[in-house]
Each structure stands twice: as structure tokens, then as C-alpha cells.
Amino acid sequence: MLIRTKISYYFHIFAPADISKIAVMKEIRILDKTFRELITEKAILCRIDELARQMNNDLAGKDVVFLGILNGAFLFAADLFRRINLQARISFVKLASYEGTSSSGSIKELIGWNEDIKNKTIVVIEDIVDTGNTLERIVDELVIRKASEIKIAAMLYKPAAYTKDIPIDYVGFKIPNDFVVGYGLDYDGYGRNLSSVYTLIK
């Protein structure tokens, strides 16, 4: 089996009988690496509720196109978009910049543009913003295609790795500069189906 889940129970200084005080550290193994749960499914969905509420307020009355960046943002895009009550459309484009657990540095071709975004408010839906190279590439393309307004939503954001000035309007969680998987994000193609976000420990 490619993904194994191990649950370790750590009894804190509280009385062990108090079940609510037991910290559960979930670990999983994908291929040759071990990851530990960093953000639970419940925390992710609560945060998306908040982000959607904010967007519904901020963008009320506008003609909005949500633009999901594949592959990683497909779960975030779905969970976010179903909470949006604006008159809105959604479309997806695809590119890739990562192989294994370190950036290859090369940004590949953007494919899948089939939406006329001229004079539209665009909300870019990113799974994670790391260096910001991908984001910059997408924003450049949106400017060329004459979007009237560009908003950025990122489920995860690594401030320590970010090298750009583009403001990220909606951030799910700021995380340390470590490799993560789950909730759409993969390690060599695996782990996208995990409901929580896990961080690499070894």
C-alpha cells in the first residue's frame, strides 16, 4: 500500500482519563517519506467558510470568473466555489513547476485557457504560493488578457519563500517553508486525496 496512516496518541500532563486532552498526531507514509498532519480537514473547511464569506461580501455585484490552477487547487476550488453565492463562473488552467520535493525552477506552459476574461473580475485559486513564480506568470497572462480586476486566493502560503510583490488577497493558512502534501497537493503524484494537509518530517 502506498499510503499508510499511523496514529500516535500522546498523553499530555492532563489526566489520561480526560479524552479531550489527548493530542492525536497522525502520521502517514507516502512512497519513501513520512509526513505529519499539520492542518486538519475540519480546520481547512472552517477557514474556507470564512474566505467564501469574505469573497461574497467583497465581490458582490461583480461579474466574477474563478480561475483554478490545476492540478493542486482542484479540491480547494471545489470546496470554495460551492460556498460562493455570487453570479460567478469557474474555469481551470494547468501548469507545473514542481518535481519531487524541491522546485525545478522551470515554469511550464500554461494550457486550458478557454474563458474570455476581458473586463472581468478574476479570482485566481491557488493551492499553495511558495516562491510566487507561478502566480506571477498567471497574473502576467491575466493582464495581457485585460482582466479588469485580479484577486488572489491561496489555500496555503509560505511567506518565508515568497519573492514577489503581488498581494495575496485571501490566504487560507500561512505555513513554514517546508514541503507539504494533501488536500490536492502531491508528492510525486500521490497524496492529493488526503483530506488534511501533512508536512514532511523524514
For ligand 5GP, the binding residues (CB under 6 A) are 72, 97-98, 103, 126-135, 179-181, 185-186
Cα separation, 6 vs 11, whole angstroms: 16
Cα Rg of the chain, angstroms: 18
| Residue 59 identity (one-letter amino acid) | L
| Structure-block grid coordinates of residue 17 | 482519563
Q: Is there a catalytic annotation at residue 79? A: no
**Rounded distance, CA 28 to CA 35, Å?**
5
Q: Considering beta carbons, is residue 54 or 101 the nearer one to ligand 5GP?
A: 101
Of the candidates 169, 114, 117, 108, the residue with the CA atom closest to the CA atom of residue 142? 117
Q: Shortest approach of ligand 5GP to residue 133 CB, angstroms?
A: 4
Least Å distance between CB 90 and ligand 5GP? 17
Shortest approach of ligand 5GP to residue 77 CB, angstroms?
Answer: 12
* Contact present, 28 and 4 (Cβ < 8 Å): yes
Catalytic choice (18, 32, 130, 140)? 130
For residue 119, give every residue at least 6 positions away whose Cβ sits within 8 Å of its Cβ, in sequence order, or none: 146, 147, 148
- Nearest distance from residue 89's CB to ligand 5GP, in Å? 22
Catalytic residues: 130
